Amino acid sequence: MKKKNLSRREFVSWAAAGTGSLFLGNAMACGHTAPFQDQSDCLKIITLGNTGIKTTLLGMGTGYNGYNHSSSITRAGVAETVIRAAYDKGIRFFDCADAYGTHPHTARALKGIPRENYTINTKILLSQGAQPESESPDANIVVDRFRKELDTDYIDIVQIHLMTSGTWTDQHKRQMDIMETLKVKGIIRAHGVSIHSLAAMEAAAASSWVDVVHVRINPFGASMDTKRPENVTPIIERLHKSGKGVIAMKVFGNGSFSNDSEKLDQSLKYVLGLSCVDMIIIGFENPGQIDNCKQRMIRALQA
């Protein structure tokens, strides 16, 4: 999953404007007319499923190349700069996780901004030893730590991270119940899951507990649950039809399209053309990438 930092020449290639052709099987892949096709605002306000949470169509992922409580932007020492630049450029959704180590950086980057002006999504690893505590505590204890790290009274969305098992809703029922109690108390606004297998996605689609779900989708099958996106989109449609907020991740194949301008454009056109996706998140490593992605999204939405 690791990816080397882009050289100046590679970034120029990544940022080069490209028109690209519309990849086959886009707007009708979920069986409906694409909701964004007549709207060219890449920062339009969307609503995540039935949660009532409103945020921007484009969100920032803070965990590109994230592992061991760090990510590419924390290791490069630019996390606060890039997160604040994303906010200043209009992005209002910030995707964090315990595994990325970006909670304190996000808090410092957004310090002084009214809390209601942005949405925080974070994720909790439930595997043994996943938390820095000596023992894996219950979700309420971990979420309390998250709130301190994020310097916030509440968190908009907390998800179970990296689910691959088709029986995860049975395995983690105790923690799911605790997170439901946190939602009732207003400590979190919604809960859900980040999906990393088709079996886990099927379980999420069948679960009434899931409010918001991260799904891996792009037209090339890169860094996805299967190499065939046409096998994924019907499940995503079921997730969306059941009222769950659907967030598309790995839109750029976990960075594997960075030097292919045409693939970047094709991927945005494909994912934005899916009626069963509410929003997308992209992991930015510098402010220039944010501007470039916004320009590409505008072209894709106008296409």
Tell me if 32 is assigned to some domain: no
Residues 51, 211: contact at Cβ < 8 Å? yes
Q: Which domain holds residue 148?
A: 38-302
Does 157 map to a domain?
yes
Contact 143, 178 (CB under 8 A): no
Q: What is the DSSP letter of 116?
A: G
Residue 136 has which token pair?
């894996």
Whether 76 contacts 39, CB under 8 Å = no
- pTM of the shown model: 0.88
Burial group, residue 256, by CB count within 10 angstroms (0-12, 13-18, 19+):
middle
Dihedral angle of Cα 74, 85, 10, 68, to the nearest 10 degrees? 20
The predicted pLDDT at position 303 comes to 83
Residues 6+ positions from 73 with CB-CB distance below 8 Å: 62, 64, 79, 82, 83, 102, 105, 284, 285
CB 65 within 8 A of CB 79: no
Distance CA 160, CA 95 (A): 13
User: Which token pair is 277?
Assistant: 């996706």
Torsion of CA 289, 295, 300, 303, to 10 degrees: -160
pLDDT tens, N- to C-terminus, the chain (303 residues): 333 344 433 333 333 333 333 333 444 457 544 454 446 899 999 999 999 999 999 999 999 988 889 999 999 999 999 999 999 999 999 999 999 999 999 999 999 999 999 999 999 998 655 555 556 799 999 999 999 999 999 999 999 999 999 999 999 999 999 999 999 999 999 999 999 999 999 999 999 999 999 999 999 999 999 999 999 999 999 999 999 999 999 999 999 999 999 999 999 999 999 999 999 999 999 999 999 999 999 999 998
**Can you give the length of the chain in residues?**
303
In a domain? residue 95:
yes
The total number of structural domains in the chain stands at 1
Residue 234 within a domain = yes
Q: Distance between CA atoms of 42 and 272, rounded to whole angstroms? A: 10
| Domain assignment of residue 298, yes or no | yes
Query: What DSSP line would sit under 209-266, residue for residue?
Result: T-SEEEEE--TT-TTSSSS-GGGTHHHHHHHHHTT-EEEEE-TTGGGTTTT-HHHHHH
Distance between CA atoms of residues 252 and 283, nearest Å: 9
Is residue 20 included in any domain, yes or no?
no
**Is 30 within a domain?**
no
114: left (phi over 0), alpha (psi -120 to 50) or beta: beta
Look at residue 105 and tell me if it is in a domain: yes
Q: Return d(Cα 212, Cα 23) in angstroms, integer.
A: 27
CA pair distance 95, 302, nearest whole angstrom: 26
Residue 194, both tokens:
């980040």
Q: At 297, which CATH number?
A: 3.20.20.100
